[in-house]
Amino acid sequence: MNIELKDGSKLEVEKGTSILELAKQISEGLARNAMAGKVNGIVKDLRYKLEEDCKVEILTFDDLDGKKAYWHTTSHIMAQAIKRIYGKDIKLTIGPAIDKGFYYDFDVKENISSDDFEKIEIEMKKIIKEDLPIERYTLEKSEAIKFMKDLGEDYKVELIEELPEGEEISFYKQGEFTDLCAGPHLMSTGKVKAVKILSSSGAYWRGDEHNKMLQRFYGISFPKTSELENYLNMLEEAKKRDHKKLGKELELFMIAPEGPGFPFFLPKGMVLRNILEEFWRHIHRKNGYVEIKTPMILNEELWHRSGHWDHYKENMYTTKIDDVDYGIKPMNCPGGMLVYKSKMRSYKDLPIRAGELGLVHRHEKSGELNGLFRVRCFTQDDAHIFCLPEQIESEIAGIMNLVDKVYKIFDFEYTVELSTRPDDSMGSDEQWNMAEDALKKVLKDMNVSYVINEGDGAFYGPKIDFHIKDSIGREWQCGTIQLDFQMPERFDLTYIGEDGEKHRPVMLHRVIFGSIERFIGVLIENYAGAFPVWIAPVQVKILNITDAQFEYAEEIKRKMENANIRVEFDNSNEKIGYKIRKAQLEKIPYMVVIGEKEKENNTLSIRSRKDGDIGTMNIDQFISLVNSEVAEILKRI
């Protein structure tokens, strides 16, 4: 039997060889570090036996799917520990791995306090030390129901009863603990090393607010204690960088109780926002885009035509105008279609690159709202590109180059993910295969490394997602490129070809920031509120020592404003030490201290947020210093 490995090499093994045995044949080191395997793109246990020629990838903790197998097993260890401690007072529900760790939901008689986390962790470490083999087995549906009923696990019974007849129902057993689970899992509990319960919260059974409230425990685990310590340090650092806290302290934005999920931008936040929008406009003009603006409210029929009414209605806000139903746009694309259709297009007009900073509204559950990261209204930095089929690859490459340029301005590193056809997709197999192949070809031709996210494409087409990495190593999904054959079909978009006949254009959807609001949230946390000079809402703070320097300070302020420097003058009656500390807390890049000596010599004493005291300058030298920092960035745009 021939096995194709990740690097394309082939290995001949006996039929019935497990993934773990395959890993051992490759190398003992790989087998020691293996968490799971991927067989023809599907994640499997290491115990899974290979029965035919296939492609196999051995997954370690460095792979997201390997991490998820590790974290899924840890969720079972946590559930086992909690069952050992609290016994029949606890009912099991579900406990999946997530992108950053795992959680498990329990029906509890009384909420378990965070004071008990340490006790649970001690029991988890005992289970790990016991190195219990993890066994997978299956039962028929009736047997599975009886088994879980005998254990008193009513929630598991409910899940099993909903499974189709004849479907294989799998369980995983470790010591006295057995759970209904599809897997995959590690080979034994001893494979897990460093564990931590992070928090607990309420969660409705199956996410339905009409169901019972459960207690959810979040946790994390790593193969090394040092990795856990680094992660916990990162979480502490993340708390300090919380954009909700800093947004309030730095007077950037607010969320009022009168508008949950609808952010208010304050004057300093608007300065930052306007700089980003002007930067967006500048770089798009340079790359051949035109800007449009489409209405926020459009007739319901349009949303039926686009497919959003069928695929997205539960997230849309609606209203009535003259007894006719209208939708408040959750996306900008249908409006972009109408702009394209506003006149006849020729092949000579294409590609058309139409950008829009479009305000959209989407209904999010109140429990999921999170500062600027999850809101109910936001501005997408959208663009829709209408092109000829033969222009697809060059246009995607152009977008990728633009994304790269924008992220490098902010010194972001990023990774790339290709998301493929989802279950609720529109269109034919042929169209989807063509679209996915086009994206793969561009990524290959541009030598871009990427991972495949199966089934997570948009309902109208596959997409490339960009995940930026911030200064403390967290990843944020911001930019995306979506290739769409469906919308032009549904809206009957055409152009006149060289042959004089009507043809169908191809459409590309794309964002780079993702949304202005979310990107600002990411920037706040990335810089911990200490923005670089070019986007800092206030670049310079003037601090006078006494009222005797008031007029000189005002003169300096006017000169800076005339040089397009964003400056504030703190003329309060506080002592200079207090003013300096206040400016530091406001994370101002430069402080200009003016005393009697500076006034007499017509100079400025300069303090840098980054370098501390940098000496004395005259006003022209200082203006040149600030503007040269901004100019360095503008050269890269």
Q: What is the pLDDT of residues 499-519, one digit of tens each?
A: 999 999 999 999 999 999 999
Q: How confident is the model at residue 223 (pLDDT cuts 50, 70, 90)?
A: very high
d(CA 612, CA 591): 9
The predicted structure's pLDDT at residue 524: 96
Q: Which of 463, 518, 541, 599 is catalytic?
A: 463
Highest mean pLDDT among 241-255, 427-441, 450-464 belongs to 241-255
What pTM does this model have? 0.84
What the block records as the tokens of 72 is 């899924």
Q: Catalytic residue among 83, 308, 362, 518, which?
A: 362
**Whole-number Cα distances in Å, 564 to 530, 543, 619:** 20, 19, 14
Which position among 105, 179, 382, 470 bears the catalytic label? 382
For residue 460, is pLDDT > 80?
no
* CA-derived radius of gyration, the chain: 29
Question: 10 Å Cβ neighbour count for 221?
Answer: 25
Catalytic residue among 384, 474, 510, 587: 384
Instruction: Examine the residue annotation and report whether 377 is marked as an active-site residue of this protein.
Output: no
What is the tens place of the pLDDT at every residue in 233-290?
A: 999 999 999 999 999 999 999 999 999 999 999 999 999 999 999 999 999 999 999 9
Nearest of 545, 553, 538, 608 to residue 577 by alpha carbon: 545
Count of Cβ atoms closer than 10 Å to residue 547 Cβ: 10
For residue range 264-277, list pLDDT tens digits in order: 999 999 999 999 99
Cα–Cα distance measured from residue 196 to residue 510, given in angstroms and rounded to the nearest whole number: 39
Q: In 40-110, which residue ranges form alpha helices assigned H by DSSP?
A: 64-86
- Is residue 424 over pLDDT 80? no
Q: Are 205 and 93 in contact (CB under 8 A)?
A: yes
Tokens of 576: 């200079």
pLDDT at 577: 94
**Residue 167 pLDDT > 90, yes or no?**
no
At residue 453, the pLDDT reads: 85
Q: How confident is the model at residue 59 (pLDDT cuts 50, 70, 90)?
A: very high
Instruction: Please confirm, yes or no, whether 380 is among the known catalytic residues.
Output: yes
382 a catalytic residue: yes
Interacting residues of 81 by C-beta distance below 8 A, sequence separation 6+: 120, 121, 123, 124, 126, 127
Mean pLDDT value across the chain: 93
At 623 the pLDDT is 97
Indicate which residue of 380, 391, 431, 486 is catalytic.
380
Domains of the chain (ranges plus CATH)? 2-60 (3.10.20.30), 67-239 (3.30.980.10), 248-294+329-527 (3.30.930.10), 540-636 (3.40.50.800)
From 470, 478, 333, select the one nearest 403 (Cα to Cα). 478
CA distance 512 to 522: 13
Residue 501: the pLDDT is: 96
Among the listed residues 156, 509, 579, 607, the single catalytic one is: 509
- The residue annotated as part of the active site, out of 333, 478, 482, 518, is 333
- Count CB atoms within 10 A of the CB of residue 430: 9
Which pLDDT does position 404 carry in this prediction? 94
DSSP 214: E
Please say if 333 is a catalytic residue. yes
The three-class DSSP label of residue 608 is strand
> Mean pLDDT over residues 39-50, rounded?
92
Measured CA to CA, the distance from residue 315 to residue 516 in angstroms comes to: 20
Task: Answer yes or no: 362 catalytic.
Answer: yes
| Confidence band, pLDDT 50/70/90 cuts, at residue 366 | confident
